Amino acid sequence: MRTSGTLSTLLACLSLTASVPAADSFEIGEGQEGELPQGKEADGIRGDFVLKNDKIVALVSQNAPLRRANMSTFYGADGVTPGCLYDLTLVGAQNDQLIYFGPTGQKGQVSWVRVVAEDDANSAGVETVITAAKNGGLYERHEYRVRDGEHGLWIITTLRNEGKEKTKAKTKDAWTRFNESGQKDGIQWADAVDPRDKAGYAYANLPLEDWKKEPPAEEVELVPGEQVTWARFLAVGTSPAEAWSRVREKREGKEGMLTVKVADKAGQPVLSASVSLVDDKNVLKGYPDEKGEVKLALPAGRHTVVVEDMGRPAVTQEVSIASGKTASIGAALESATKLKFTITDERGRSIPCKAQILAQGETQPVDLGPTMRAHGCRDQWHSERGDFTVQVPAGNYRVVVTRGIEHSHLAQDVTLAPGQEIEVKGTLKRLVDSTGWVSADFHNHSTQSGDNICGTPDRLINIAAEHIEFAPTTEHNRIYDWRPLIEKLGLQNDIQTVVGMELTGSAAHLNCFPLTVEPFLQDNGAPVYNLDARITALTLRGWQGERVDRWVQVNHPDNAFLFNDRNLDSKPDGGLVGIEAMVDGMETENFIGDGILADSPWTLNRPKGALATKVSYVRQFIWLQLLNAGFRVKPVAVADAHTVFGNGVGGWRMYLPSKTDEPAKIDWTGDLAAQAKAGHYFLTTGPFLNVTTADGKVPGDDVRVNGVVQLKVKVQCTDWVNIDRIQVLVNSRKEPTLNFTRKSHPEIFKDGVVQFDQTITVPLQKDAHLIVVAVEEEGDLKTGYGSSDQARLRPMAYHTPIYVDVDGNGFQANGDTLGYDIPVARMTVDTVREKLGLPPEPKPEAPAPNGAPAAAAPGAKKGS
């Protein structure tokens, strides 16, 4: 336990040579924030408890009603986790990768968390207690203890039945969230999400002092007065293999040691390699230190060691370990096979970009790393600069380099021999003239959000590589600021952001920005979620003081619930009345397709292998119905990215008018906020759509005409995007006379960058809102996204409505529901089929007994 400052000074004065134990435990107060452990998943705030010795530093969460690591470590009322282990890292490494460790799966409120005195001067502890009175008669205590010289901490649990009846208690521990984890020799292990972070954890139940050696089962039954106590040791290392080795050594005593030296043929350490212990059930990896060495404590016997590095042949060795002895082996790796990239813009500037490395012919697809990582995610590499090197296996590849939807692309076929390096060099030209506009995405996430483990730098590199210029910080339930990391990555001239958040719960989710970070408070000072989106919206509007530039939007909205069925009882009730006036926009696009040209509010899908059909609501169609009902709901297009590959940035985005074309000078408060609130923008997966009226009105504006509107429509596309149709929606309906295709009107479409540049005459007899849609009917985005999910999207763009007043009485919505009632929530398949004019869903065939052919459902036809 930490001694007082006065006592520490007195002791120092009495003996300058006195040895002060490193083990310590203390509560973090104001001015002590520098003592909090750091790293990718660091979650410490004032009031939490730090434990440290000469090897490690750890953090236990305080007893506060809303204390949690981040948004979705757990959902629900018991999602708070005071008194649990949040952070654990090696001293000096500041490389925490742990989100949560809960002894016995601890969740929910506790009675207290406090520093405890230890008998040993070289130990320090913190205890979490749930008294029997607050826990149904079961007393529960978890002590976190550090001792000098140990690369981990002890967690000691006591359960005691203080009630009058038998009681059962869960004993299984829980931890989260890792990309890879497993068990070897009864020891749980976990690897960092990005192996290049070089961190790992391991734990096992171990005997400590005079407590029972055998740990309890996953559940124990205690009679009144009965008590059980056990301990486990949780180690942290530079790899899962090292952490596992620490635990095993602690459990078994003195073991043999293995040192593996990894170098290339020239004797230079290969720091990107992995050293794996391989058996029938496990591949447990170690990562070389700065000398290229991996040191592990191993049981006596023979072991298979595999040394691997991307782009080099693996080296496998058998080694015998003797108890108490050290065995040393070396692995001299062949030269790596590499692709060296040199990508610039037309000014010669090295620029952020994305490289796809697509296997051709009999070459196996590459796997450069986890989907959450920028520098190697499946068959892609996202880079903050245009000069980088990627190691790949020898083979045949098509390399495609892009930078979003305004620049040209580079495609090159390469054949790499083992150990060969080939340069991929080129210029990505700015083909699309977006002068006066900036690309924006109002909704993305990194590991700060809790429901994903994508590194925050990885997200920012992903944003830059896909050429998003304005991206508010919108982590789940945590006010956060990406700017320090943007500057650290050198991307301040490529990305602008403002502080914000997404307030999230079990109903509607809402984004809000700008806000202000209040550091070292729970969620950085964010408000608490409310199930009623209106209360949440109003809370966000006034949080930290109202601002005219405050933007609040509903994310991935359930429009049936919000606007027609707040009770979710499949009966229309008007929804959350007034919600549209409390928010600035609602997402119509975030990777769910391109349903603005759909013909109904639902789709029916039966996933492969499923027995039942699923009803999906077409959000865009319902939005069009709402426009006709008089709701001026502004559409928003986002990525809502949680990974880099797959659900990464790219696909849908927005373009807003801007006073500057330099991202570093983008001004949300003094410029973009007013444009966004006025709806002066368009949504796109690729085409750059510019629509104005003859008198200069733009999307979002109101227009007064005497029966004819002239729409100037211009569409630009980069060299991997095309369009073949322009459709004008009049009051949300696809007007047949305003449908132009390359097939029907070849003379007005062009090839190259400018693919459409025409004035379209729209005759009107009554008020109408107008939307122009540009699309490639059978196209996709495969060139730009390759094997990632965005490739399936069609090139498409549309804008916010232009509201046209024909009779001089102001724009009036026409009330047309487009042939269907505005949907209610939770509609059944049969109800939807009836509304779509389809026969009832055929009954699934029941499995026949003893493998005999199944009988057809009554009335079913062959092939139905």
Domain range for 358: 338-427
Q: Are residues 342 and 323 in the same domain?
A: no
Residue 427, classed as helix, strand or coil, is: strand
For residue range 239-251, list pLDDT tens digits in order. 999 999 999 999 9
More confident residue, 358 or 71: 358
Q: What's the total number of domains in the chain? A: 4
Q: Is residue 129 part of a domain?
A: yes
Give me the residue label for tokens 């059978």: 778
Residues 36 and 172 in one domain: yes
Q: Are residues 318 and 279 in the same domain?
A: yes
Q: How far is CA 600 from CA 516, 670, 816, in A?
A: 42, 40, 13
Q: Which domain-ending residue is among 405, 427, 449?
A: 427
* CATH value at residue 263: 2.60.40.1120
Render pLDDT for 659-675 as a digit per residue (tens, 0 to 9): 999 999 999 999 999 99
**394 domain residue, yes or no:** yes
- Backbone φ and ψ for 394, nearest 5 degrees, come out as -60, 145
Euclidean distance between CA atoms 284 and 297, whole angstroms: 13
Looking only at the bridges linking them, the beta strands covering 796-799 and 353-359 are unpaired
Residue-wise pLDDT tens digits, 253-287: 888 999 999 999 999 999 999 999 998 778 999 99
d(CA 338, CA 817): 58
Q: Of the candidates 333, 358, 387, which is a domain's last residue? A: 333
Over residues 176-194, the pLDDT tens digits come to: 989 899 999 999 999 998 9
Band of pLDDT at residue 843, cut at 50, 70 and 90: confident
pLDDT, position 579: 98
Last residue of a domain, one of 410, 427, 444: 427
Residues 69 and 134 in one domain: yes
Averaged pLDDT of the chain: 93
Question: Which CATH number belongs to the domain containing residue 242 in this structure?
Answer: 2.70.98
Would 764 be classed as within a structural domain? yes
DSSP for residue 167: E
Give the span between the Cα atoms of 269 and 274, in whole angstroms.
Answer: 12
Q: Which of 338, 336, 364 is nearest to 273 (CA)?
A: 336
Q: Are residues 344 and 327 in the same domain?
A: no
Name the pTM for this structure.
0.94
Residue 706 belongs to a domain: yes
pLDDT tops 90 at residue 449: yes
Q: How far apart are CA 480 and CA 475, in angstroms?
A: 7
Residue 469 lies in a domain: no
Instruction: Please give the pLDDT value at position 863.
Output: 32
Tokens of 246: 């620490």
Per-residue pLDDT tens for 792-828?
Answer: 999 999 999 999 999 999 999 999 999 999 999 999 9
Whether residues 349 and 201 fall in one domain: no
Q: Is residue 846 part of a domain?
A: no
For a pLDDT cut of 90, what percent of the chain falls above it?
Answer: 88
CATH, residue 348: 2.60.40
Q: Are residues 221 and 282 in the same domain?
A: no
Closest CA to 267 of 331, 173, 187, 216: 331
Q: Identify whether residues 63 and 163 lie together within a single domain.
A: yes
- Asked whether residue 661 is domain-assigned, the answer is no
Whether residues 314 and 342 fall in one domain: no
Q: How far apart are CA 60 and CA 145, in angstroms?
A: 11
Same domain, 151 and 185: yes
Instruction: Render the burial of 272-301: b for 16+ CB within 10 Å, e for the rest.
Output: bbbbbbeeeebbbbbbbbeebbbbbbbeee
Q: Please check whether residue 674 lies inside any domain of the structure.
A: no
Does 316 share its domain with 345?
A: no
Q: Is the predicted pLDDT of residue 143 greater than 60, yes or no?
A: yes
Confidence bin at 216 (pLDDT 50/70/90):
confident
pLDDT at 179: 86
| pLDDT beyond 90 at 46 | yes
65 lies in the same domain as 191: yes
